[in-house]
Amino acid sequence: SFEEYKNSYKQSVNDPEGFWSDIASTFQWKKKWDHVLQGDFKQPQVKWFVNGKLNITENCLDRHLEKRSKQTAIIWEPNHPRDQPIHLTYAELHEKVCKYANVLKENGAKKGDRICIYMPMIPEITIAVLACARIGAIHSVVFAGFSAQAIADRINDASCSMVITTDGMYRGPKKLPVKDTIDSALETCHSVKKVLVVQRTAHPIKMEEGRDVWVHEEIEKVTSDCPAEEMDAEDMLFILYTSGSTGKPKGVVHTCGGYMVYAEYSFRNVFQYEDRDVYWCSADVGWITGHTYLIYGPLLSGATTLMFEGVPTYPDAGRFWKVVDKHQVNIFYTAPTAIRSLMASDLSFVRNYKLNSLKVLGTVGEPINEEAWYWYFEHIGKKKCPIVDTWWQTETGGAMISPLANITENKPTFATYPLPGIQPVLLDKNGDEIKENEKEGYLCIKFPWPSMIRTTYGDHERCRKTYFSSYKGYYFTGDGAKRDRDGMYRIIGRIDDVINVSGHRFGTAEIENAIDEHPEIIESAVVGYPHEIKGQGIYAYVICGDHVPEDRGRIREEIIAMVDEQIGKIARPEKIQFVENLPKTRSGKIMRRILRKVAEGNTSNLGDTTTLLEPKVVEDIIQGAVKLESAV
């Protein structure tokens, strides 16, 4: 009940160590910890379950075997509805993970090595992730939509010694190459010694002698006996790259003990998973949501987790709902962008299905607008299912602010209250805590939690600067939020130079760097603008010289090709405006605030423009934007 939540919350603040120690005690440890929590945000250096020893896969798999060996762990729904789904029991998954782990070892992988996983949504991606964790290798999953260049950057940053991939992939009506992309990425990666290839599309690919091996052949050579490596609670479990407001994406590091405890705790509480429920998280394993709430959280809880290879609109816009009925899904977790895109199709796609197995719905990744919230609530949940709007980040490891299904209240567009153990605050411009309600501020976290980011791989100073230096003693989220009368939080969105496109994070600098590689482009500035389906779209202003060039069509296409090549199609700018100049302050800083307003089409109130070097530049840009609008 709500009372219990409040008591639990109070206890977690008054005695955090006692609170987390009780929860951590429910797991299987090879050796118990000496201290629950050490350190603070200053260095930052925070350690949880100090000197505790464990292996997360024993907690995901082995410890369930006694009671759940025959229970389905993973249901896999393939891209094409005509193909057969796969059900893997806990016993089968355990066996497969052990075999894969032995294949990794046979091919030279060992504890502490970094292994890049670049695969579509097939059961083998989950098996690969767990196999790494089994032997203590650090997985770095790269979303299968990233380009060769983006993969190479990530492999090189972490000096990965191995890549696990597939020959190809299916996505809706398309068959796409995967291994070819890895081949071009590896032209500039010298740390990679082995590439393990899982067969999916069985189309011809190049296999490099001595480097590339087929997993289905390697599996034949190993046993299923693979004892789990003993890991320290603070040993790295994985790296996951994410974009920030400056420079290249950074490798967010999560560790074994704290991440395990919080992944399970938050999964169980947010979704109120009950034995035998079928749970479906539609996120890709390439993002943090896939890590925490498709793989680790559910498996740690002994749940049945569904993974879907395809897309929501293939073969038609009813696919999600078809899958819900087919597998009798009880809990469904997706992104607002998916809801908005399905909302745009005819309601008959929903009405064809019963959807009566659903008990709980969830969203993640971006603010959900009121219209999408109500559509989801009425048409999918039939007004019976609570919606857990979970706010969190790659860096937080798990959901931080969210309703707990059927326990705490829902309020459309509000992430509502923090989970027990999480202490959010709103800060004002001066870094002072705003104590009153009905106020807006910078969202920060005041006290460590078990699954918090430990470092950014290979560059601890970057971690300190990005998250722990803006406001001394706080973790800074980069989001703005407001608190209502009852103390419920509503997330407003990023207040830094991060754009959230369909729930995918991109730094404006990252996209600008890609565009600036074009030989005819002198400078560019990228901002986000409101997009009906994607939440935010990417708007690029580019300068080619003293005047706007004639052959804009060609340059536009070339810009898109550069972005495809350096980041991936998911980062393509939607709108490109050629300008002669960018609005800058006297000290040469681009005034993004103004560019954002123009991109939004909101030019009536541009705010203070007195610090602009050349006010006329803004006039020209507004004129150009008007023309651009009418040209679309």
* C-alpha closest to that of 121 among 294, 278, 354, 242: 294
CB of 488 to ligand WTA, least distance (A): 13
Alpha helices in 73-186 (DSSP H): 90-106, 123-135, 148-158, 179-186
Q: CA-based diameter of the chain, in Å?
A: 73
Give the bridge partners for 281, in sequence order.
333
Q: At what angle do helices 256-271 and 16-24 cross, to 10 degrees?
A: 90
Tell me whether residue 135 or residue 252 sits nearer to ligand WTA (CB atom): 252
**Of 98 and 401, CB closest to ligand WTA:** 401
Count Cβ atoms below 10 Å from residue 160 Cβ, excluding itself. 25
Q: What CA–CA distances, in Å, run from 18 to 37, 340, 415, 531? A: 10, 42, 27, 45
For residue 122, the minimal CB distance to ligand WTA (Å) is 22
Structure tokens at 453: 């980011």
The H-assigned helical ranges of 450-489 are 460-468
Q: Which is nearer to ligand WTA, 86 or 492 (CB)?
A: 492
The distance of closest approach from Cβ of residue 358 to ligand WTA in the complex, given in angstroms and rounded to an integer, is 19
Q: Please state the closest distance from residue 139 (CB atom) to ligand WTA, in A.
A: 17
Alpha-helix residue ranges (DSSP H) falling in 309-363: 319-327, 336-343, 348-351
What's the token pair of residue 433?
A: 């805590």
Taking a C-beta distance cutoff of 8 angstroms, is the pair 440, 428 a contact?
A: no
- Of 125 and 162, the one with the shorter C-beta distance to ligand WTA is 125
Least distance (Å) from ligand WTA to the CB of residue 55?
Answer: 25
Reading the block at residue 550, the tokens are 């004639």
Q: Which helix (H) or strand (E) holds 578?
A: strand 575-579
Beta strands in 201-358 (DSSP E): 212-214, 231-232, 236-242, 250-255, 278-281, 304-308, 331-334
Q: How far is CA 202 from CA 56, 99, 167, 523, in A?
A: 33, 22, 7, 44
Instruction: Give the interface with ligand WTA as residue ranges (CB under 6 A).
Output: 242, 287-289, 364-367, 389-394, 415, 477-479, 491, 493-494, 500, 505
Nearest residue (CB) to ligand WTA, 289 versus 334: 289
How far apart CA 117 and CA 105 sit, in angstroms, is 16
| Helix 123-135 vs helix 90-106: crossing angle, to nearest 10 | 60
Query: Among residues 29 and 143, whose Cβ is nearest to ligand WTA?
Result: 143
Smallest gap from Cβ 510 to ligand WTA, in A, equals 14
H/E run at residue 53: strand 53-54
Task: Choose between 284 and 309: whose C-beta lies nearer to ligand WTA.
Answer: 284
136/298 with CB nearer ligand WTA: 298
Residue 63 DSSP code: G
For ligand WTA, the closer of residues 23 and 492 by Cβ is 492
Amino acid of residue 96: K
Instruction: Compare residues 55 and 292 and give the one whose CB is closer to ligand WTA.
Output: 292
Which tokens in the block code for residue 438?
Answer: 């009905």
User: Given the complex with ligand WTA, which of 263 and 579 has the nearer CB atom?
Assistant: 263
**Position of tokens 């302050």?**
585
Assigned token pair, 96: 């497969």
CB 503 to ligand WTA: min, Å: 6
Residue type, 541: Y
Residue 25 carries which DSSP code? T
Which three-class secondary structure state does DSSP give residue 426? strand
Identify which of residues 527 and 555 has a Cβ nearer to ligand WTA in the complex.
Answer: 527
